[in-house]
Structure 1
Amino acid sequence: MTDDLPLLTVDAVTRHYGAHIGCKAVSFALFPGEILAIVGESGSGKTTLLNCLSCRMPVSSGTVSYQMRDGGMRDLATLTEAERRFLMRTDWGFVHQNPADGLRMRVSAGANIGERMMAVGDRHYGRIRQTAEDWLARVEIPGTRIDDRPTAFSGGMRQRLQIARNLVTAPRLVFMDEPTGGLDVSVQARLLDLLRGLVGEMGLSAIVVTHDLAVARLLSHRIMVMKEGHVIEHGLTDRVLDDPQHPYTQLLVASILEV
């Protein structure tokens, strides 16, 4: 692995749904330790792009390449299904907007975290349980809840548990789809502080899809603005939000300021 090469390289990625464009000719590079926010209104193509980048959806054209742990770049389309599943369980994380989509709701909080550890070969029960307790503490869930199922947790606690489940294997790249969506404002603020601290502490790379420009400003180094499947503006987060160039970006920023 090398930090002077991109972790993820995206070249002219396009996704069609019949005659409809999900995303069109998107290109960028993401470097180790970098956080990219993808913003835009509903239907802009940001979630379609995220699903293409994370191998949850095939691309219609273009390539997505990833720097594997041996330092080699691999076109994700050439991975076998087993290689892709292993990458998703270990080197990548995916934080869903609805925590129930990223958790096993019928097993305990500890088992949700332990399952990811077992995916990388850990079989020592005592070590798995201790690590699960440590991670619950890191995401501000009392250790006494380790044997409780997520069905007994609040929405904010479920989202924090989902974050712990994803980060326990020390992934190098985390995809986040509206990670604060549907949460109360006070819960959002607490979760964002937690996410920012963990991402910085672990040196993670992340791609965050959000419609909330405040989330983008707090978490990301760079921002990509999408409209109708196209990237219309891309740059450093503070530059784009403080001095937007495209009329659509100006409209997005102005609408937030008026709230």
Structure 2
Amino acid sequence: MSDLPLLKVNNLSKFYGSRIGCKDVSFELWPGEVLAIVGESGSGKTTLLNCLSTRLLPSTGSVTYRMRDETYRDLYHMNEAERRFLMRTDWGFVHQNPADGLRMSVSAGANVGERLMAVGDRNYGRIRQTAADWLSRVEIAEDRIDDQPRSFSGGMRQRLQIARNLVTSPRLVFMDEPTGGLDVSVQARLLDLLRGLVNDLGLAAIVVTHDLAVARLLSHRMMVMKDGHVIEQGLTDRVLDDPRERYTQLLVSSILQV
């Protein structure tokens, strides 16, 4: 890991009128680190993820990102074109519903190849070969490269979305309930795949989930949210094995259904 954080978040808040989306959230994320944000529905975890990934404008606070030239930029002082370029190249975003992160009317190969074209690759043969390699890497048969995602199962669509996001070697990936809505057996396979890819590529990732098993398997560190506030954070094993806050204890013991 680098000795400098990749992302610095300072007193980030989002309000919807008088309602709190998230309030006074601060943390740093390091290269190669996976952070899980957990909590029940309505806790603010998705609002926070959307503010971090520039999909939602925060009310107050700052999010600064270390660019490839080692300079820190405040994401909300960038112009829209700069933020879009960052999202197409240096970042990935894995949606809970893969249809939100794929173009359903073009082939699997084209879904992956579009990201390569966004970073300037124009060689068709190389793009197609790289797409085929990545389909294989996420356990999609190479002979499905010309098939549209609408013909894929939910698990295959999610794996294709992962390939589309990771093909450009991003440094930071946001994941919003990446295993939500999938059968348990499919979830287990996908988690194994994600864990392997994150480790192999040295990615930093922020994972929003209500599933503590997902958080334990994927993350190094965890933040627990309730009513828009971070109420506990620490190393994942510490938080899950020795929760200090009553709310976290309820989550871990599954008394509180999430």
Partner of 2:112: 113
Distance in 2 of aligned mates of 1:17 and 1:144: 48
Distance in 1 of aligned mates of 2:79 and 2:62: 16
Partner of 2:160: 161
The alignment's C-alpha RMSD in Å is 1.2
Q: Could you tell me which amino acid in structure 1 is paired with residue 4 of structure 2? A: L
Q: Could you tell me which amino acid in structure 1 is paired with residue 130 of structure 2? A: T
The offset of 1:39, in angstroms, is 0.1
Partner of 1:194: 193
Distance in 2 of aligned mates of 1:38 and 1:197: 20
Kindly provide the CA deviation profile for residues 167-186 of structure 1, in whole angstroms up to 9, marking residues without a partner as x.
Answer: 00000000000000000000
The offset of 1:256, in angstroms, is 7.2
In the superposition, the TM-score normalised over structure 2's length comes to 0.98
Structure-to-structure mapping, 1:134-145, within 5 angstroms: 134-145=133-144
Distance in 2 of aligned mates of 1:181 and 1:100: 13
Partner of 1:128: 127
Instruction: Find out whether 1:96 has 2:98 as its counterpart.
Output: no
Partner of 1:42: 41
Partner of 1:242: 241
Unaligned runs of 5+ in 1: none
Contact 2:5 2:66 in 1 (8 A): yes
Partner of 1:70: 69
Unaligned runs of 5+ in 2: none
Contact 2:138 2:163 in 1 (8 A): yes
Q: Could you tell me which amino acid in structure 2 is paired with residue 24 of structure 1? A: K
Aligned residue for 1:85, secondary structure, equals helix
Structure 1 outlier segments of 4+, above 4 Å: none
The offset of 1:257, in angstroms, is 11
Distance in 1 of aligned mates of 2:30 and 2:200: 17
Aligned residues: 257
Kindly provide the CA deviation profile for residues 199-229 of structure 1, in whole angstroms up to 9, marking residues without a partner as x.
Answer: 0000000000000000000000000000000
Query: Percent same amino acid at aligned positions?
Result: 79
The offset of 1:141, in angstroms, is 0.1
Structure-to-structure mapping, 1:21-36, within 5 angstroms: 21-36=20-35
Partner of 1:225: 224
Aligned residue for 2:169, secondary structure, equals coil
Distance in 2 of aligned mates of 1:192 and 1:215: 7
Contact 2:250 2:256 in 1 (8 A): no
Distance in 1 of aligned mates of 2:247 and 2:255: 13
Aligned residue for 1:65, secondary structure, equals strand
The offset of 1:3, in angstroms, is 1.2
Contact 2:108 2:145 in 1 (8 A): yes
> Which moves more between the two structures, 3-12 or 249-258?
249-258
Aligned residue for 2:254, secondary structure, equals helix
Aligned residue for 2:187, secondary structure, equals helix
Contact 2:232 2:245 in 1 (8 A): yes
Kindly provide the CA deviation profile for residues 29-74 of structure 1, in whole angstroms up to 9, marking residues without a partner as x.
Answer: 0000000000000000000000000000001000000000000000
